Amino acid sequence: MAVGLTLIFGVMRVVNFAHGDMMVWGMYLAWILSTRAGIDPYVGFIACAAALFVMGWVTQRLLVDRIVDAPHEMQILLMLGVALVLENVALVAFGPDPQRVRSPLRAATFWLGPVFVDVTRLVTFALALALTLALYLFLTRTDLGRTMRAAADNAYGALVIGTDVRRVYAAAFGIGAACVGAAGALVSPILPFQPAGGLSLSVASFNIVIIGGMGSLPGAFLGGLLVSVAESLGAVFLSPSMKELVSFSLLIVILLFRPAGLFGKTAA
Amino acid sequence: MKWLAAAALVVLLLLPAVLNSYVVTVFIFIFFYAFLGQAWNIVGGYAGQLSAGHAAFVGIGAYTSAVLSVQAGLTPWIGMLVGGLLSAVLGTVVGYLGFRFGLRGFYFVLLTVAFGEVCRIVALNTDAVGGALGYYITFTGNPWQFQFQDNRVYYYVALGLMLIATGIVAAIERRRFGAYLIAIREDETACEALGVNTFRYKMLAMIVSSFLTGVGGTFYAFYLFSLQPGAVFGIPLSVEIIIRPIVGGAGTVMGPILGSFILSPLAEVSRIYFGQGGWAGAHLIAYGLLLIAVVLFLPQGAYPALRRLWARAAR
Amino acid sequence: MPPLLQVAGISKRFGGLVAVRDLSLEMARGEVLGLIGPNGAGKTTAFNLLSGFLTPDRGEVRFDGHPLAGLKPHTICGLGLARTFQIVRPFPHLSVLDNVRVGALGRRPQMAEAREKARAVIDRVGLGAKTDHAAAGLTLADRKRLELARALATEPTLLLLDEVMAGLNPTETAAIVGLIQRINEDGVSILLIEHNMRAVMTLSHRIAVLNFGEKIVEGPPAAVANHPRVIEAYLGEEYVHAPAC
């Protein structure tokens, strides 16, 4: 999910505050697919990704496009507005109670040496890794991917050589949203979700992306691992409800001392 | 324009005599949120430092005066100042960290959100202030304890707060402090080259803003009588605070007031019509749409647009 | 009386690139010193070092006897050293008057007094007709005047002008040259970076030439213009022995 956010930022220098809320929609879509159509989220995530791709594309074309050159404050406020809309439409549509998706793999576990492995989490991890690799290949091997990276490095230059920059931006936003949709679906059997959870997911994404470095894909992935480990350790040593405190404190520290993160390009 | 404002003021002063208690309550919220928005306006509107964690100051002010009143019997009229002071301390810390480390734009927003959330989590986990269950104040109706039997007294207190904050903002705008803040918002680097100590003025804005917001916390505590960490420190309150000046016109004197007069009734109406059943969050959808509309079409807010219309009509 | 500006061996490197190497300069009061050199020679970096936007790795700068080490840009401006930016930075939403007033408020904290000072400076630079226009709507030439006016409003003793003539046509350039001369006659010392050779020759009492971060030549305009190392720096070795055109 952080990978999607960093892509959007890297290409367009727009920070997607609605990221977490989009993810929640991904989760709800997976839930719908699961309960109404009986499709397992580990298969259905593709549909979720596709649906969110559309959502991202539309959002970009309709809204974000107009303010790509606007001052940062305006972009933040716009995405905040989008977040509010998404979160509360979800609230109205699905109600405030937490949900969880049931997957047939749910109960399966096995021992791997001294470690107790949960199959659902393993599958999630494997698929996330696979998707990240796929994205990486896309960005480095395909034309559109390379164009995206060019636009990220130098928007004006890309314009000069005839790129349809708006289309690239829309694609980037769409893919970023798709990542999050997939993420949502993959995680839906593990994490309970509710409309109000959008914010903490957004913040978690920002946390990870800033730590790993804005605009850097490997940074986002490694950042994700780092933050999860830190949070888990926090949950072990402090009380579980304080683990959010750990991630926020980490965020503050990183913001102050190394806003470029571990691998990142600096912000414009 | 001036006589219009004076006339409006007279009307507002006389209204409680003719309105029923429910409408009076609506006005109380209009004034109160306008006050908070005006306080935010100093640092968020004029200086352009978007703080999305201002609820933290409300919370600190609220809990401080509440605890001092309940545990130590200190009258909230003084507790209000203590609460404001503690909020100003947090404001100083956040401002110092943000400005000294050169955090701008998105990064500063995130810093303020982080601090807000940290406060919330700490409050949630501190049983001495009620933890997750919240902190409660018993209603005594005693004016010395900042409690009033009559809703109308709250009305005048809230109105007074709003006017005081507006007066402070107007005074700031007229002086060098205001001119510097506006210039900082336009281009900080150019300001530095012109001899403006940008760090000092941003800090000053932050301190004044957080102090006032903290004072507002006391009103919150002694009007609602119950403090929940999620409600009083959380992002939703921060959104309520910033959306009024932004919609009404950030960096203008009338902006937060106009914004509050637009948004509070809107929230009330949607709460009435949609509050039943599963439509509880509907007013927030309206907020979101309004925010999007403002950013796309009226980036300077409603008040500057109205002023332009008025100027055109006058010709 | 000490020189107005004393730069002693300042250096600045960014990672592997040495932008300014062991630069030393002196300026007397009332002087106009031109700073020229090919693109990338380190001129703007030198300005940033003098005005406090960058700190030198080595060396010292003294302005009117004050060491500038570790001082912030706004403090340095308060001491009397003002600068303009190569890419002008007006306050876009503010009027010309409000723009210049921000500069004036430094020495005249009362709003009314600052306003009067701002009006005077605006008239001095020839922008009087546009006093109430929004800065964003000005032509480039006017924006340059605005940048100049703002810096002048801080009542500097030394003014650093960074390529103030870039992008102007000959008429506009001639006007700005005249303006700078008048400002200098009023008693403001000027250090200017310029690529427009004719303007530099006209305005400067002395010229210093930078190449690859080092000062290679310094002296009166005529001496500098024909100096072989200067020709080499701009045009390359082959032209050093070419006959004058």
At B259-272, the pLDDT tens digits run 999 998 888 887 77
pLDDT over threshold 80, residue A93: no
Whether B12 maps to a domain, the answer reads no
Confidence of residue A137 (pLDDT cuts 50, 70, 90): confident
Whether C244 maps to a domain, the answer reads no
Please report the pLDDT score of residue A224 as a whole number: 67
Pick from A241, C197, C211, C80: which is nearest to B229 by CA? A241
Report the largest interatomic distance among the alpha carbons of chain B, rounded to a whole angstrom.
63
CA C80 to chain CA mean position, Å: 13
Confidence of residue C15 (pLDDT cuts 50, 70, 90): confident
Residue-number span of the structural domain to which B94 is assigned: 20-314
Please report the pLDDT score of residue C245 as a whole number: 47
pLDDT over threshold 60, residue A105: no
Amino acid of residue B284:
L
Whether B15 maps to a domain, the answer reads no
Report DSSP letters for B81-115, one per residue: HHHHHHHHHHHHHHHHHHHHTT--HHHHHHHHHHH
pLDDT over threshold 80, residue B29: yes
pTM value? 0.85
pLDDT over threshold 70, residue C62: yes
Domain of residue C183, CATH code: 3.40.50.300
Please report the pLDDT score of residue A154 as a whole number: 58
Q: Which residue has the higher pLDDT, C23 or B272?
A: C23
pLDDT over 90 for what percent of chain B? 46
Q: What is the 3-state secondary structure (H, E, C) of chain A?
A: CHHHHHHHHHHHCCCCCCHHHHHHHHHHHHHHHHHHHCCCHHHHHHHHHHHHHHHHHHHHHHCHHHHCCCCHHHHHHHHHHHHHHHHHHHHHHHCCCCECCCCCCCCCEEEECCEEEEHHHHHHHHHHHHHHHHHHHHHHHCHHHHHHHHHHHCHHHHHHCCCCHHHHHHHHHHHHHHHHHHHHHHHCCCCCECHHHHHHHHHHHHHHHHHHCCCCHHHHHHHHHHHHHHHHHHHHHCCHHHHHHHHHHHHHHHHHHCCCCCCCCCCC
Is C51 an 8 Å CB contact of chain B? yes
Highest mean pLDDT: which range of A149-158, A189-198, B153-162:
B153-162
Q: Count up the domains in chain A and report the number.
A: 1
Q: Which residue has the higher pLDDT, A171 or C104?
A: C104
Amino acid of residue A230:
A
B252: chain C residues, CB-CB within 8 Å: none
C74: chain B residues, CB-CB within 8 Å: 191-198
Q: Which residue has the higher pLDDT, A120 or B283?
A: B283
Residues within 8 A of B (CB atoms), C 95-134 only: 98, 101-103, 105-106, 109-111, 114
- How many CA atoms within 13 Å lie on the side-chain side of A24? 32
Per the CB < 8 A criterion, the answer to whether A89 and A55 are in contact is no
Q: How far apart are CA A226 and CA A211, in angstroms?
A: 9
Confidence of residue B231 (pLDDT cuts 50, 70, 90): confident
pLDDT over threshold 90, residue B82: yes
Cα B202 to Cα B112, B178, C172: the distances in Å are 14, 11, 38
Q: Provide mean pLDDT across the span B202-207.
A: 96
Helix (H) or strand (E) holding B211: helix B198-224
Please report the pLDDT score of residue A267 as a whole number: 38
Phi then psi for C10, rounded to 5 degrees? -85, 145
pLDDT over threshold 90, residue A47: no
Phi then psi for B103, rounded to 5 degrees? -80, 120
Q: Provide mean pLDDT across the span A128-136.
A: 72
Pick from B268, B212, B269: which is nearest to B241 by CA? B212
Please report the pLDDT score of residue A17 as a whole number: 63
Q: Count up the domains in chain C and report the number.
A: 1
Q: Provide mean pLDDT across the span B207-235.
A: 91
Q: To the nearest whole angstrom, how far is the Cα of C237 from the nearest Cα of chain B? A: 39
pLDDT over threshold 60, residue B168: yes
Whether A211 maps to a domain, the answer reads no
Q: Tell me whether strands C32-36 and C214-219 are parallel, antiparallel or unpaired.
A: unpaired
Chains with 3+ CB–CB pairs under 8 A to A are B
Supply C236's token pair.
């390359």
Assign C40 to helix, strand or coil.
coil
Q: Provide mean pLDDT across the span B116-141.
A: 84
Which residue carries 């200067």 as its tokens? C230
Supply A189's token pair.
């059997």
Q: How far apart are CA B103 and CA B106, in angstroms?
A: 8
Please report the pLDDT score of residue C138 as a whole number: 92
Q: Which residue has the higher pLDDT, A192 or A11?
A: A192
Q: At what angle do helices C96-104 and C111-125 cross, to 10 degrees?
A: 120
Pick from C67, C33, C32: which is nearest to C50 by CA? C67
- How many CA atoms within 13 Å lie on the side-chain side of B194? 31
Whether C235 maps to a domain, the answer reads yes
C92: chain B residues, CB-CB within 8 Å: 186
Please report the pLDDT score of residue C50 as a whole number: 93
Please report the pLDDT score of residue C88 as a whole number: 92
Interface of A with B (CB under 8 A): 15, 63, 66-67, 70, 72-74, 76-78, 80-89, 91-92, 95-96, 195, 199, 203, 206, 210, 239, 241-242, 244-245, 248-249, 251-252, 255-257, 259, 267
Span of A24-38, B63-77, C226-240 with lowest mean pLDDT: A24-38
At C173-197, the pLDDT tens digits run 999 999 999 999 999 999 999 988 8
Whether C201 maps to a domain, the answer reads yes
C151: chain B residues, CB-CB within 8 Å: 193-194
Interface of B with C (CB under 8 A): 174-176, 179-180, 182-183, 186-187, 189-198
CB contact under 8 A, B114 and A74: no
Q: At what angle do helices B176-186 and C111-125 cross, to 10 degrees?
A: 50
Confidence of residue A264 (pLDDT cuts 50, 70, 90): very low
Cα A220 to Cα A152, A188, A190, A240, C32: the distances in Å are 16, 21, 21, 25, 53
Interface B:C, Cβ pairs < 8 A: 75
pLDDT over threshold 90, residue A199: no
Please report the pLDDT score of residue A265 as a whole number: 46
Q: Is B20 exposed, middle or buried (0-12, 13-18, 19+ CB in 10 A)?
A: exposed
pLDDT over threshold 90, residue B286: no
Per the CB < 8 A criterion, the answer to whether B190 and C89 are in contact is yes
Q: How far apart are CA B40 and CA B209, in angstroms?
A: 6
Pick from A172, A145, A189, A201: which is nearest to A45 by CA? A189
Q: To the nearest whole angstrom, how far is the Cα of B182 from the nearest Cα of chain A? A: 15
Neighbours of A75 (CB within 10 A): 23
Whether B278 maps to a domain, the answer reads yes
Q: To the nearest whole angstrom, how far is the Cα of B239 from the nearest Cα of chain A? A: 9
Whether B2 maps to a domain, the answer reads no
pLDDT over 70 for what percent of chain C? 96
Domain of residue B71, CATH code: 1.10.3470
Q: What is the mean pLDDT of chain C?
A: 89
Whether B8 maps to a domain, the answer reads no
Per the CB < 8 A criterion, the answer to whether C98 and C146 are in contact is no
DSSP-derived secondary structure letter, C109: -
Q: Is C127 exposed, middle or buried (0-12, 13-18, 19+ CB in 10 A)?
A: buried
Q: Count up the domains in chain B and report the number.
A: 1
